[in-house]
Amino acid sequence: MKREVWSSRFGEWFRDVLLNAGILDYRYPIKGFGVWMPYGFEIRRNILQVMRNLLDATGHKEVLFPTLIPEDLLAKEAEHVKSFEEECYWVTHGGSKRLRVRYALRPTSETAIMPMVKLWVRSHADLPIKLYQIVSVFRYETKATRPILRMREVASFKEAHTIHATFEEADAQVREAVKIYRRFFDELCVPYLISKRPDWDKFAGAEYTIAFDMICPDGRTLQIGTAHNLGQNFSKAFGVLYETEDGRREYAWTTSYGISGRAVAAPLIVHGDDHGLVLPPKLAPIQVVVIPIPYKGFEERVEEAAKSVASKLREAGIRTELDLREDLTPGSKFYYWELRGVPLRVEVGPRDVERGEVTLVRRDTLERQACPVESVVDSVKGLIEKLTEEMRERAWRWMREHVRRVESLEEAKRLLEQRFGVVEAPWCGEEECGHRMEELLDARILGTPIDMEEEFQGRCIVCGKAANQVVRVAITY
């Protein structure tokens, strides 16, 4: 439950826990490429299922586009290619034959999807189209790579792409995307800030970009989701026209929104502690581990009781592991499953058996409580709900404590240097002041809050002019 290593040596903590808990092995012989191990893959599967459920329920259709994009397609949208060409991996040969056109490993799929959409869209009746896919994307990053946080192969990129008849519909779609992502991160118990990125930091080819950021234990922020209104930029570049009700031909309006493998990292980062992972029960491959505490003369009775509890829990649909390994002491088993973040432990010892009880131990608080065997299923169900709620609240509280309104450059600078988290600074709205602020603070502007209700009046911390908005500023990953 201590969170010293977690916060003070976060980078190290994260790298170690990924390998030791069997999430991601980062020793693959290409830098920035990792191996999703069985336990990590199961967490990833559960998380992606949450996403699929949300998207399927809102009329999105899952599809699968090719991994490769010919260079001439990628180049069709000018801003887009400018931003991505230096980050692409390029396929130049098939066997020993040089290819006529180079292929990029997709960095994102707008330019793969648009030429097909052009074939699919005839009239307004074909719209809207709402597609998504979950695929690997590739970025030849020049920045230092980090396991999951900055990979060169992002192995769980969920990208959605939608096509609409009007700007308003595209705009409403971006709002729907934000709503879906809110629910998604709520289910993951991950708190977030939602900001409209400044113009100079929007997605290449977008009208505007809305982004979700979280705060890591080291005070740096991590972008965990983005939604873009792409206007008619891509439809014009690719000639995606549709016939309106009154027979005119118009360019379509498109959006895209994505969530990367970082969505898998986010709950691990937010809830972890010095013992290892703490998984929200919904994502946990194993929700409850049952561990018998044998004692001379009681071995059989204890084991029988543990088995019976485990099968009761399984029958109730709770993902339960019964740890009967003979070569490990109960203490080593505690350590093993705490590291892996199993939300609840059920201990069955000789005294428990005598009393007709078991002992329940929460992973998040390490609190213990006795529970009569008859009501173990109800107690476990109740605790799962309770600890999910408490994990979510605790994480939100922690995040809110790491966001602070500032009045001056000095205050902002001091907080950012302390790696406090996110500062919200009054800003006049001028791009020049924005750049200057980033420079003076040696930090990045996340953008203007779109999750803030109250009106604001203040003075820009750079130029001192009246400011009716704040910008969020942080040291980012």
Binding site for a second copy (CB under 8 A): 25, 27-30, 33-38, 41-42, 44-45, 61-68, 70, 73, 85-97, 103, 105, 112, 115-116, 119, 131, 136, 138, 140, 142, 153, 155
Q: How far is the CB of 148 from a second copy (least distance, A)?
A: 12
Q: Tell me: cis bond preceding 217? Omega within 30 of 0 counts.
A: no
Alpha carbon distance 60, 287 (integer Å): 30
Alpha carbon distance 9, 203 (integer Å): 32
Q: How far is the CB of 36 from a second copy (least distance, A)?
A: 4
Beta-carbon contacts of residue 378 (< 8 Å; ≥ 6 apart): none
Which residue pairs from 33-38 have beta carbons closer than 8 angstroms and sit at least 24 positions apart in sequence?
Answer: 33/151, 33/152, 33/153, 34/147, 34/148, 34/151, 34/153, 34/155, 36/155
Is the Cβ of residue 300 or residue 327 nearer to a second copy in the bound state? 327
E-only strand ranges, 386-476 = 403-405, 422-427, 444-449, 458-459, 466-467, 469-474
Q: How far is the CB of 375 from a second copy (least distance, A)?
A: 31
Is the Cβ of residue 36 or residue 192 nearer to a second copy in the bound state? 36
Alpha carbon distance 391, 394 (integer Å): 5
> In which element (H, E) is residue 238 found?
helix 233-238
Q: How far is the CB of 91 from a second copy (least distance, A)?
A: 5
Q: How far is the CB of 263 from a second copy (least distance, A)?
A: 15
Alpha carbon distance 215, 223 (integer Å): 9
Residue 173's alpha-carbon distances to 126, 236, 319, in angstroms, are: 16, 19, 36
Do 104 and 67 meet the contact criterion of CB atoms below 8 Å apart?
A: no
Do 295 and 302 meet the contact criterion of CB atoms below 8 Å apart?
A: yes
Q: How far is the CB of 73 from a second copy (least distance, A)?
A: 7
Q: How far is the CB of 452 from a second copy (least distance, A)?
A: 37
Is the Cβ of residue 192 or residue 336 nearer to a second copy in the bound state? 336
Is the Cβ of residue 89 or residue 456 nearer to a second copy in the bound state? 89
